[in-house]
Amino acid sequence: MEAFAHQRDVQTTWSTEIVRWDNDGTSLVLTALVLEERAQTANKLRGVRLDLSSARARDQVYIDEQAAERTRSALEEIADASERNTLRPSANGWIGAKEFWPLL
């Protein structure tokens, strides 16, 4: 999604700030957005952008719908394991990692 977002003919056609966290000069802004090519409206991506900043650094991270779902599922698994107090490597790897196996 990040590569798509930085193309010259791509524009943000809709966005809304979901949440903003500020703490001791460090900031995180989570924005839901829709990116669309100007030339052809059929090519459209939906996702979120994380704007991260501090006094020394600034970055943007884009997460498309599929990556957001993988991340949500992994975080749910991690939260469930945390509640059960079982955060440790399993026989198949780390808790939450299975959501990202298809990417390998």
pLDDT in tens, 23-82: 999 999 999 999 999 886 678 999 999 999 999 999 999 999 988 888 888 888 878 877
Pick from 20, 45, 43: which is nearest to 33 by CA? 45
3-state percent breakdown (helix, strand, coil) of the chain, nearest 5? 30, 45, 30
Residue owning tokens 């006094």: 55
Parse the chain into domains and list their residue ranges.
Answer: 2-103
Per-residue pLDDT reduced to its tens digit, 68-95: 888 888 888 878 877 776 656 555 556 6
β-bridge mates for residue 61, sequence order: 50
Distance set, CA 83 to CA 6, 14, 65, 70, 102 (Å): 40, 37, 27, 20, 26
pLDDT of residue 76: 86
Backbone conformation region of residue 85, classed left if phi is above 0, alpha if psi is from -120 to 50, else beta: left
